[in-house]
Structure 1
Amino acid sequence: MNAKFMVIPVVFSALVLASCGGSYSSDSSGGSNSYGSSNNNYGKTTDDMRKNDMSGSTKTPTLTQKDVLATVQSKLNSDVVVRLPKAIPLSSDKHYLSAKTSDSSDAYQVIFYETKAPISVNSSDLKDTSKATQIATVSGKMYATEEAAANATGHMNDVNTGINGVDLGSGITGYSDAGAGSTFLNWAEGRWSMSVRNTTSADPQDSIDLAKKVVAVLEKETLPAPHQVGGMQLEVAPNKAKGNIISWQDGKTDYMVSDFNDPLDGVHIATSFTE
């Protein structure tokens, strides 16, 4: 009898301890569309790791993109007026934002990364491709003259002329061109010239589809107003980040969003400058 009564408190204590525990599961899977992140979220982000002084915990807090961008801004020291986007699309709301900054007297550059776990701004861990994936580069550069800054945007004059006009929606017509193994579908919106590039062996409809999606986005979102011109060059083929450039002039300064894999993600980043 005594042995049985001794066991009961032990079992009861074990049950109480077990009831204090818990479990959770996470699902980081997510699909993607042909253009644009299917999860166009602008949520979880991280900047410099900080201790939680109130609780005494060393756990890194989950910060907003506004917090991360404020950290980036504070690390840039340049004579160029620093301008940054207000939102960066991530592929999953379970992922985080970080960045690597560099600057000089006449230029600054910010490379944005998506990470699976919090990584501080300018951390050496951003070099590890298993931990961080580059999203896009944002930069500003001051030139000696306004003409040089305008040329740096890649703006094209007289793109709303030619043959084989294509209706892109919203009253905008695109015009096709070709050369050096590439095809181009060009159009203009205000002081911006737009161009999507594909290969001559690809289906021309792919260029039209992307151009229509860009036009549709710009019906709802606004690109920065250039002073005087802006240029957008997008690749129809996927994962050609080096060919994707959105750039606009402000006096002697050229601002640029570049190196983004998905054309529509790049457009969303550029339009977020005006939010």
Structure 2
Amino acid sequence: MLNKYKLFLVPLCLLLVGCSAQKNQGKEKQTATQASKVSQSQAKSSQTAAASQSSSATSKSSAANSSSSSSQSQQQNTNRLAQFNQELKANLKDTLIPQADGLATGSDKLNVRYQGNTANYTISYSVGAQAKEFNDSSISQEIPYAEFAKKTYSSADEAGQQINHQTASDSQGLPEIDLGHNIKGYLDSGAGQRYLSWNEGNWALRVHAAAVNNEDPQQLAKQTVELLETYRPPAPDPYGEVRFDTNTSYGSRNQVIVWQKGNTIYQLSGHSAETAIKMAASIK
């Protein structure tokens, strides 16, 4: 009987040992699987982080490139006018010229040409379909948005006759208009026209409007006063005159700033009051 039990116990033990081994192998496989999943998860996290860093770096690079491109464009626009001014200085010697083009857009296609000599000249500023070389003959086909001119007279008296300087005493009895910044204007109406005049220092200023077209000079006059708080034209010697018009059209340059310096008259005419003021204020 004992031998029979022994024979029975031996297979049973072998069976138990086999089951235990299979369980251990199952646990090892489960552990290995879990470890593999953890490893894959970590790998995916690393890949996601790397992709995020790469995307962030690309975004920063794009922003930097965009900023650099914008900066380069602005620099090119500034350098274009500066280059023209160097050419003008070389041809017209020691003369006064605008250092700003007065444009909100289009500076990259600014074209400049001139006629005359150091004593008498006219510089034309235009925006073309393409940027051209300084004083290119084809620029004469473009309509200037502004012109700056110098004219020399035989005497200061003769030059002074070109300036129509009026004072507040010339406008006594006319309706007063508050233009802001403690400046009073005087409105002169008649024959279908309106003229709003005032003085600032040695400057006499006037805005014209056509009453027959229901135009009012007050808005432009107040805008002019506001602009002159920031942009100051050269000091005249002795007087200067500003003649602006509410009626503007393409190619018109009826916004005029003119002033005397001894026996010389300088005149800046532009297609808008703002352009004329900004260009005149930059002259040196």
> TM-score with structure 2 length normalisation?
0.67
For 1:213, give the aligned amino acid: Q
Find the partner of 1:168 among 167, 179, 193.
179
Shift of 1:42: 7.8
Q: 1:223–1:271: 8 Å Cα contact kept in structure 2?
A: yes
For 2:82, give the aligned amino acid: K
Q: Which runs of 5+ in 2 are unaligned?
A: 1-72
Structure 1 segments, 4+ long, off by >3 Å, are 41-45, 157-162, 178-181
For 1:227, give the aligned amino acid: D
Q: 2:194–2:209: 8 Å Cα contact kept in structure 1?
A: yes
Report the Cα distance in structure 2 between the residues aligned to 1:74 and 1:182, rounded to whole angstroms: 45
Identity value in percent: 24
Show the counterpart of 2:83: 67
Find the partner of 1:262 among 262, 272, 281.
272
Change (3 A) 1:75 1:42: farther
Change (3 A) 1:147 1:73: same
Q: 1:195–1:233: 8 Å Cα contact kept in structure 2?
A: yes
Q: Is 1:246 aligned to residue 262 of structure 2?
A: no
Report the Cα distance in structure 2 between the residues aligned to 1:88 and 1:63, rounded to whole angstroms: 12
Name whichever of 85-94 and 193-202 sits farther off. Answer: 85-94
Q: 2:167–2:198: 8 Å Cα contact kept in structure 1?
A: no
Q: 2:153–2:263: 8 Å Cα contact kept in structure 1?
A: yes
Report the Cα distance in structure 2 between the residues aligned to 1:106 and 1:64, rounded to whole angstroms: 25
Show the 5 A alignment for 1:136-175: 136-158=146-168, 161-175=172-186
Query: More helix per residue: 1 or 2?
Result: 2
Find the partner of 1:128 among 136, 141, 163.
141
Shift of 1:218: 0.8
Change (3 A) 1:42 1:163: farther
Show the 5 A alignment for 1:110-121: 110-121=123-134
Show the counterpart of 1:200: 211
Q: Secondary structure at the match of 2:96?
A: coil
Report the Cα distance in structure 1 between the residues aligned to 2:109 and 2:278, rounded to whole angstroms: 18
Over alpha carbons, which structure has the higher Rg? 2
Q: 1:68–1:97: 8 Å Cα contact kept in structure 2?
A: no
Shift of 1:105: 6.1
Q: Is 1:88 aligned to residue 101 of structure 2?
A: yes
Q: Is 1:178 aligned to residue 189 of structure 2?
A: yes
Report the Cα distance in structure 2 between the residues aligned to 1:140 and 1:68, rounded to whole angstroms: 17
Report the Cα distance in structure 2 between the residues aligned to 1:73 and 1:42, rounded to whole angstroms: 23
Show the counterpart of 2:43: none
Q: Secondary structure at the match of 2:161?
A: helix
Q: 1:99–1:121: 8 Å Cα contact kept in structure 2?
A: yes
Report the Cα distance in structure 2 between the residues aligned to 1:143 and 1:180, rounded to whole angstroms: 35
Number of matched pairs: 210
Q: Which runs of 5+ in 1 are unaligned?
A: 1-40, 46-61
Q: Is 1:228 aligned to residue 238 of structure 2?
A: yes
Report the Cα distance in structure 1 between the residues aligned to 2:83 and 2:271, rounded to whole angstroms: 25
Q: Secondary structure at the match of 1:247?
A: strand
Change (3 A) 1:162 1:273: farther
Report the Cα distance in structure 2 between the residues aligned to 1:192 and 1:124, rounded to whole angstroms: 37
Change (3 A) 1:217 1:160: farther
Per-residue CA deviations over 1:116-169 (Å, capped at 9, x if unaligned) read 32201111221334xxx4121101111122122122133324456332100000
Cα RMSD for the two superposed structures: 2.4
Q: Secondary structure at the match of 1:255?
A: strand
Q: 1:42–1:89: 8 Å Cα contact kept in structure 2?
A: no
